[in-house]
Amino acid sequence: MFDLIKQEAARLQPEMVAIRRLIHQNPELGFEERETAKLICNRLSGLDLQVNTGIAQTGVLVTLSGTPGERTVALRADMDALPIHEENDVPYKSSGPGIMHACGHDAHVSMLIGAVKILSLLKESLSVNVKFIFQPCEEQPSGGAVPMIEAGVLDNPAVDAIFGLHVNPYIPAGFVGVKEGTVMAAADQFTIEILGRGGHGASPHQTVDPIVIAAHVIQALQSIVSRQTDPLEPVVVSVCAIHGGSSFNVIANRVTLTGTVRTLNSLVQQQMPERLRAIIAGVTKAFGADFTLDYQCGYPVLINDPKVLKVATQAGIDIVGGPRIMPVTVPTMGAEDFACFTSRIPGAYFFLGVKPAAGDVYPLHNPRFDIDETALQTGAAVLAACVLRAQETLYRVR
């Protein structure tokens, strides 16, 4: 059966490359993936599937009913691009100014379409239902996973386990990376407004300079990581944007700081808003200024279920062989709203190697990011194998 999956994935490889390139050339931002959704539906037309569109605005849910189909397994791919201007000189370069698939979601969609077609061919061998979740807006908090969950993609029939993957430019194509336990961080965002008193740049003593205060706040926030958090608990506090002032000789009234907090421990995550607030309050009070803090908790920590990860790992072995399963030893401080699924039902998230065989390697979210497209057939085959392995070993967890 797994040899058949590999053969079918190889047969679908040219089609998946074409789909990936078409999506790459026509990227769409979060909750704007209308043409991508249409492409998914067009590519799956004629198959014995239930297709629901417009879920959480632009999401697509495809259901393949097995026999007898008492249990249900889900596979998920995200669809959105990033507000990045592509710098690659390739035939499939983005045609959208300032928009690019710099995170591989074009590949995710094409591979999930491939998995749908493979499993449709094997329908008579399926004893589970399969839901294929094409999710919008992974890149922008608060993301598209929660709206899709609220729209019922995990219900009727209830999903017992969910699988997802992400391309990784540092793992060679043909390899699969797996991580036990915590995989990705929780991601929060904050906006701080420093409220001072503006005036002439030549008379700073008559003002309360919010730019100087902002500089002290930025420095002081780093003490959360260096002096207020257990060194064995990874935390990131990054101020990523600062806006204030409009002229070379005018001290501004206010400065706005925006940034992100990343944590791997939900208890530490809960402590972060008050820790930021206490430091900002102390610094601004010392300078005679005021402030506002808007702190938004974002995606939760992504944790792999051990039973479901074991299924994904075996599926990877079935397709690429044991020597090409690469253990990932440390989590990433990046975040993924796939965690919104795994916080509700058992799930596993793994990595697909797409490192080019030659040339420079560029990270995710880089304007020159690209993939080794030979990995598409590997990803589609592993996703399909996850379903076959799941129906053998998983039981309903309620």
- Helix ranges (DSSP H) in the chain: 2-25, 34-44, 105-121, 145-150, 210-221, 223-227, 266-287, 306-320, 339-342, 375-393
* Rounded average pLDDT per 10-residue block, the chain, 398 residues: 97 98 98 98 97 98 89 97 97 97 98 98 94 97 96 96 98 98 97 98 98 98 96 96 97 98 96 98 98 96 97 98 97 97 98 93 97 98 97 64
Residue of 8, 28, 33, 373 marked catalytic: 373
Query: What pLDDT score was predicted for residue 395?
Result: 53
* Structural contact between residues 145 and 61, judged by C-beta atoms closer than 8 angstroms: no
Q: Are residues 201 and 222 in the same domain?
A: yes
Query: What pLDDT score was predicted for residue 70?
Result: 82
- Residue 362 falls in the annotated catalytic set: no
Query: What pLDDT score was predicted for residue 398?
Result: 38
Q: Are residues 18 and 108 in the same domain?
A: yes
Number of domains in the chain: 2
Range of the domain at 288: 186-299
Q: Are residues 92 and 133 in the same domain?
A: yes
Q: Are residues 282 and 307 in the same domain?
A: no
Q: Are residues 33 and 84 in the same domain?
A: yes
Is the pTM higher than 0.85? yes
Q: Are residues 276 and 317 in the same domain?
A: no
Q: Are residues 147 and 191 in the same domain?
A: no
- Residue 336 falls in the annotated catalytic set: no
Q: Are residues 368 and 313 in the same domain?
A: yes
Which residues have CB under 8 Å from 334's CB, separation 6+? Answer: 184, 185, 187, 262, 364
Query: What pLDDT score was predicted for residue 68?
Result: 79
Q: Are residues 226 and 268 in the same domain?
A: yes
Sort strands 186-195 and 290-299 into parallel, antiparallel or unpaired: antiparallel
Rounded CA gap, 342 and 111, in Å?
A: 21
Query: What pLDDT score was predicted for residue 397?
Result: 42
**Is 398 among the domain residues?**
no
Give the domain-ending residue among 299, 325, 350: 299
**Is 265 among the domain residues?**
yes
**Is 83 among the domain residues?**
yes
**Is 74 among the domain residues?**
yes
Residue of 139, 299, 336, 349 marked catalytic: 299
Which residues have CB under 8 Å from 91's CB, separation 6+? Answer: 21
Query: What pLDDT score was predicted for residue 396?
Result: 44
CATH classification at residue 236: 3.30.70.360
Give the domain-ending residue among 266, 299, 332: 299
